[in-house]
Chain A
Amino acid sequence: MSVIDVRELRKEFTVRVRAGRLRREKRTVAAVAGVDLRVERGELLGYIGPNGAGKSTTLKMLTGVLTPTSGQVRVCGLRPVPERTRLALRVGVVFGQRSQLWWDLPLRESFDLLRHVYRVPAAAHAARLRRCRDLLDLDAFADTPVRQLSLGQRMRGELTAALLHGPEVLFLDEPTIGLDVVSRQAVRGFLAELGRAGDTTLVLTTHDLADIERLCPRLVVIDHGRVVHDGPIAALHDRYGSRRLVVADLDTALPQPPELPGAPLLRVEADGHRLVFALESAGVADVVAALAGRAALRDVSIVEPDIEDVVARLYAGKEGPLVNASGRAGAPS
């Protein structure tokens, strides 16, 4: 049975818009317009979409905070809204933009309170807390009131707080928002570790696609309340035809650009001193060997396809191959 099973999920909001001097019209806006989603135990799911796409709304419906307009939702076999308090014992939630900790209490006391709120046996609580303390370096600020913590420190506290009751599913709503590089890496490393253990299902929404590349084998993209992509990141690259590029700098320009099997020439730049090939069926070694046989190579660089470009195209709704896979391809280092 899927840990998360969502069918035809919809959420509509009624908004009033001005229609004339005094008159206001009611208008229905669908924030989530028919989402289907199945997530298996232990999966790491990236759930992304532009601002206002319906990500957070979906998450709120999955955790029972919002009542869906229509559709079916089961999380851990429970219906989130009517069985919210039972579900709360089995899922953890981290909101990057809000805090579930108590502003006036130090982390140590917040964690102790959570043990009682979730009724976790002392031994299990201590074991989980020890793991989190080791992985997230909590000891240095465990006695500081939450209101005095830096965002990075607080987020590490939030992650711990969400995990102390051993949830089966962990929902993370933009957990790395606003964090510096070091804290972001700490959070990612921790989530990767959690994912490797394989018994916690992670659902991650983010705008930082590096989070997704690093953590989530499966990516669901939502736009205007609908799922527009569901599959591995590689499938997204395939769909948009984004390929790795080989950028070759030559000592002298060739009179006739070479034709390499499995690696079509995309561009010729710098008066023929720079050639850009897209890797289709050919390997890097084949292309480099073939080029070295024909011209004096000064430098060769490989440009990985950029997930951000692909996703930007996806949000913009442009289908079709991404010929210029990266604006940065022209200036390899």
Chain B
Amino acid sequence: MGSVTATVAPPTESNVILWFRTFGAIVRSGFRRYATYRQAALAGAVTNIVFGFLRCYILFGAAGAAGTAAGYDRAQFATFVWAGQGMLAVILLWGRPELAERIRTGDVASDLLRPVHPVTSYLATDLGRAGWACVSRLLPPVLVGPLFFDVYLPARWSTVPLFVVSATVAVVLCFGCRFLVNATAYWLQDVRGPQILWTLGSGVLAGLYFPLPFLPDALFLALQLATPFPSLLQTPLDVLVERDPTGVQAGLVGLQVGWAVAILALCRLVQRRAERRLVVQGG
């Protein structure tokens, strides 16, 4: 068994390269793990499309004969809805509480026995999952919507890269928020309460149920600055439909980045506190 038990050779390459290689491998495995569930992806995409029609007609109704409401015209509403229906699964506003399950069953011990920080490895897996969702869940509504509605296409070239950055940051931020909701299981065992609050709160405050500019301006601004929710969905979609000039768009993305950094830092803090009081369930 000699060859099986030699100790790990000291790495020869720089730590940063190795770190990215590890991170990349976990991202790829995340993609592969979620790509096994193809029927679920199909069912999800169909549901997203059906609700896309529903939401689109409701917002058109709100726009009325004038064709505008809350600063959006009909084409902007269509883009907002169909891109939003696709992004919903990419940021994964409502996922299965996998981490909370692992905490409850004690399987989280295996995560702690890896040489990678749990927040890092869960984030990498989630990015892989989001990659798969881009293929399986983002594309279908984005392709179907324009067949039935006139959609708004960005007029400025800078909008496209800004939207890509904004959507990516939204994925990271949403991961962080879900991680925090799940991590309450370290203290509560059962995550259903926080999960329900999150489902309700994020649906309303992220701009899924209705675009947030329907709210009074001051309230919308307060939500945007003081909570991470609008940064999850409202901001990337507003960037895409060019509600604001380029400078404001960039500022909004900057705000998102700020929230993402803060939430990830909070995740690490919560994880550290949790490990100190952890009781691993089961024998």
Contacts and interface: CB of A to CB of B under 8 A. Distances in A.
Interface of A: 13, 51, 55-56, 60, 63-67, 84-86, 88-90, 93, 95, 97-100, 102-105, 109, 112-113, 116-121, 124, 127-128, 130-132, 145, 163, 165-168, 173-174, 193-194, 196-197, 199-200
B261 interface: no
A65 B107 CA distance: 11
Interface string B1-39: 111111111010000001001101110010011101100
Contacts of B278: 65-67
14 contacts: A51-B283, A66-B280, A95-B109, A98-B107, A104-B34, A116-B21, A118-B8, A119-B8, A119-B21, A119-B115, A127-B3, A128-B4, A193-B1, A196-B1
Contact of B25 (A98, A117, A168, A193): A117
B3 to A, nearest CB: 4
Contact of B29 (A86, A109, A124, A128): A109
A168 B7 contact: yes
B164 interface: no
B9 A124 contact: yes
A99 B115 contact: no
Contacts of B29: 102, 105, 109, 113
Contact of B33 (A104, A112, A131): A104
Given A97-B283, A109-B29, A119-B11, A194 B107 contact: no
A117 B280 contact: no
Nearest to A205: B283
A167 B3 CA distance: 12
Contacts of A199: 2, 5
B282 interface: yes
B32 A105 contact: yes
Nearest to B6: A166
Contacts of B7: 90, 166, 168
Contacts of B107: 98-99
A100 B3 contact: no
B279 to A, nearest CB: 7
Nearest to A127: B3
Contacts of B215: none
Interface in B61-115: 105-107, 109-110, 112-115
A100 B22 contact: no
Nearest to A201: B5
Contact of B112 (A84, A89, A90, A113): A84
B156 interface: no
Interface in B30-69: 32-34, 36-37
A222 B184 CA distance: 34
Contacts, number: 131
B112 to A, nearest CB: 5
B110 A95 contact: yes
Contacts of A95: 109-110
Contact of A63 (B6, B25, B113, B121): B113
A56 to B, nearest CB: 5
B160 interface: no
Contact of A60 (B5, B25, B109): B109
A-B CB proximity, top 8 nearest: A116-B25, A197-B1, A100-B110, A88-B115, A127-B3, A104-B33, A200-B5, A113-B29
A167 to B, nearest CB: 8
Contacts of A60: 109, 280
A116 B115 CA distance: 11
Contacts of B262: none
B243 interface: no
Given A166-B4, A174-B283, A98 B109 contact: yes
Given A60-B280, A102-B33, A199-B5, A119 B110 contact: no
Given A64-B113, A89-B8, A168-B5, 20 more contacts: A55-B283, A63-B113, A66-B278, A86-B115, A88-B114, A90-B8, A97-B282, A98-B110, A99-B107, A99-B110, A100-B113, A113-B29, A117-B25, A117-B114, A119-B115, A131-B4, A165-B8, A168-B7, A194-B5, A200-B4
A13 B281 CA distance: 12
Contacts of A116: 21-22, 24-26
A98 B106 contact: yes
A84 B2 CA distance: 26
Contacts of A132: 4
Contacts of B33: 102-105
Given A118-B115, A120-B8, A196-B1, A104 B36 contact: yes
Given A102-B29, A119-B22, A194 B4 contact: yes
